[in-house]
Amino acid sequence: MDEEIQLISENTKKEKLKNFFLNNKKKIASAIVGLLITVFAIFLYTDFDKRKSLERAYNFNQIIAKFINKEITSKEAEQFLIKIIEQNDRTYSPLALNFIIDNEIILDKNRINNLYDIVLNNSKIEKEIKNLIIYKKALFNSDYIDENNLINILNPIINSESIWSSHALYLLGEYFYSRNERQKSKEFFNKIINLESSNPSIKTKAQNKLNRYLSD
């Protein structure tokens, strides 16, 4: 008797399932088609993004090689490199900016800072890479701007657990030391000593600075 009831129950479930598919076949078919389109679109986008990244890599390497071999002028290199920066590539946009600065292709500080801002507004760049770029921007400007502007640039790193926070603090310590503001300099070097996540090398440099020049 129990077996018959179980068999009837299973048959009822199968019948309900069959009826569900028959009654909703159009909706189910549409959902499957929609899912396939989504998967296909993701595949195409990923493939397109990968191809564009390879294209940027090739273009970047070609520009660098031509510039080093003096096959193109600084002005021509500048145009190509700025184009790469504006393409917001997570890898080659920062590299293009670094190359411009290292090779003094653009000397105007306002233009360089504008390019820094373009790169820093790139949402594709990983957080710690972006923090490194912030640090480099501060380092680039440290000889030309006042303490408030320098601290404003570095605040996103200082007020975080970034691996670059001790580097930022050391830059500020050196900044104030070079201006003979010994107490402020000492404060920032001490912050490095007390920071648990301080880079060991930076921590040693800060301690040496305190012992040799700021011990009074």
Q: What is the pLDDT of residues 201-211, one digit of tens each?
A: 999 999 999 99
Query: Percentage of the chain with pLDDT > 90?
Result: 68
Helices and strands per DSSP (H, E), number in the chain: 10, 0
Is the pLDDT at 184 greater than 90? The verdict is yes
Spatial separation of the C-alpha atoms in residues 203 and 189, rounded to whole Å = 8
Distances (CA, A) of 49 to 35, 52, 66, 148, 172: 21, 5, 26, 40, 39
Mean pLDDT over 56-73 rounds to 91
What's the pLDDT tens digit per position in 7-19?
445 555 556 555 5
Main-chain dihedrals φ then ψ at residue 145, nearest 5 degrees: -120, 160
**In angstroms, rounded to a whole number, what is the distance separating the alpha carbons of residues 197 and 176?**
23
Q: Say which range, 35-44, 46-55, 75-84, 166-175, has the weakest mean pLDDT.
A: 35-44
**Residue 38 token pair:** 């989504």
Specify the amino acid at residue 71. E
Give the per-residue pLDDT at 36: 42
CA nearest to 161, candidates 191, 198, 187: 198
Going by C-alpha positions, the residue among 54, 48, 73, 50 that lies closest to residue 63 is: 73
Top-confidence residue, 84 or 54: 84
pLDDT tens, position by position, 132-173: 999 999 999 999 999 999 999 999 999 899 999 999 999 999
End-to-end CA distance of the chain: 98
The Cα angle at residue 208 between residues 203 and 213, in degrees rounded to 5 = 130
The more confident residue out of 57 and 93 is 93
Q: Are 172 and 154 in contact (CB under 8 A)?
A: yes
Q: Is the dihedral of CA 94, 96, 99, 103 positive or negative?
A: negative
Q: For the chain, what is the mean pLDDT?
A: 84
